[in-house]
Structure 1
Amino acid sequence: MTIKKKVGQLVKKHGTSDPFELARAMGIEVIYEDLGKSLGYFSSLYRTAIIHINKNLSNEKQLSTCAHELGHIILHPEINTAFLKANTYFPTTKIEQEANEFMVELLFNQGDDQVVTVKEATEKYGIPEQLLYKNF
């Protein structure tokens, strides 16, 4: 199943494309903490997914980070990318790209009334420009 279809099913099932509302509806805890230069990550404790978000980010970047980490939980629930990056030579580029695609689909391609320009998406939300052109 494509990422677009997965996002569409998720939004239809829960009636929202807001990643924070989706996390709440799915029983995923969202924690805000000082993560230094890291935007966020997800962890799992006793089969409970937790999204960790850097509390120092703007609201828009917290939103896109939550959507990205939600993408990891939906698409890669058993893969700990932070561990892979720190302790192995396993390439995580494809996994990160898929989470980014999930984020863009969730935040910008659901037909909401909200219109976000490429400039806003890159500056406010921190979305890589090349990813936007691929998905818009």
Structure 2
Amino acid sequence: MFIKERVDQLVKKHNTNNPFKIAEELGIQIVYEQLGSILGYYSKTHRCKVIHINESSPREQQIFTCCHELGHALQHPEHNTAFLKANTFYSTDKIEQEANEFAIELLFNQGGDQIVTLREATETYGISEQLVYKNFCD
């Protein structure tokens, strides 16, 4: 599983699964701004990578959004992603699916075998049950 291996290497290299710290160490800017119903998006302009996060989102949602957009920055660095809107985690677009998988792997990677329950994923981070099942129960 390529994404899981990549996330494991990333966590080991940076000694954290904190997406904000990893982005900082990789020189990826994080900008908080009013985005309405948009949770966040990734952009790259003139070799400058930026993760945009909705400053009005709850902190847990900002964490997941940062994980998702970091996935875009690392897996699809040349693409300016479409806006990640509320309740669009079910995108059939391969790039969005990969970013979602990356986000879940990073968010719940503790460098060991810690088990995160479906309830923790859905209640704490607002991740849909469908998305969690797709990534952990397939």
Equivalent pair of 1:39/1:53 in contact (CA under 8 Å): yes
Partner amino acid, structure 2, of 1:100 = N
Structure 1, unmatched stretches of 5+, are 84-90
- Residues 70-89 of structure 1: matches in 2 within 5 Å? 70-82=70-82
Kindly tell me the number of residue pairs found equivalent between the two proteins.
Answer: 129
Q: Distance in 2 between matches of 1:57 and 1:112?
A: 29
Per the alignment, residue 11 of structure 2 pairs with 11
Per the alignment, residue 131 of structure 1 pairs with 131
Kindly state the Cα deviation for residue 116 of structure 1 after the two structures are TM-superposed. Answer: 4.0
Q: Distance in 1 between matches of 2:55 and 2:128?
A: 21
Q: TM-score, normalised by structure 2?
A: 0.83
Per the alignment, residue 69 of structure 2 pairs with 69
Q: Distance in 2 between matches of 1:23 and 1:33?
A: 17
Per the alignment, residue 86 of structure 2 pairs with none
Per the alignment, residue 101 of structure 1 pairs with 101
Per the alignment, residue 51 of structure 1 pairs with 51
Q: Distance in 1 between matches of 2:31 and 2:79?
A: 20
Structure 2, unmatched stretches of 5+, are 84-90
Q: TM-score, normalised by structure 1?
A: 0.84
Determine what percentage of the aligned residue pairs are the same residue. Answer: 62
Q: Secondary structure at the match of 1:97?
A: helix
Return the structure number with greater relative CO, CA threshold 8 A, min gap 6: 2
1:60 matched to 2:60? The reply is yes
Between structures 1 and 2, the one with greater helix share = 1
Partner amino acid, structure 2, of 1:125 = Y
Partner amino acid, structure 1, of 2:7 = V
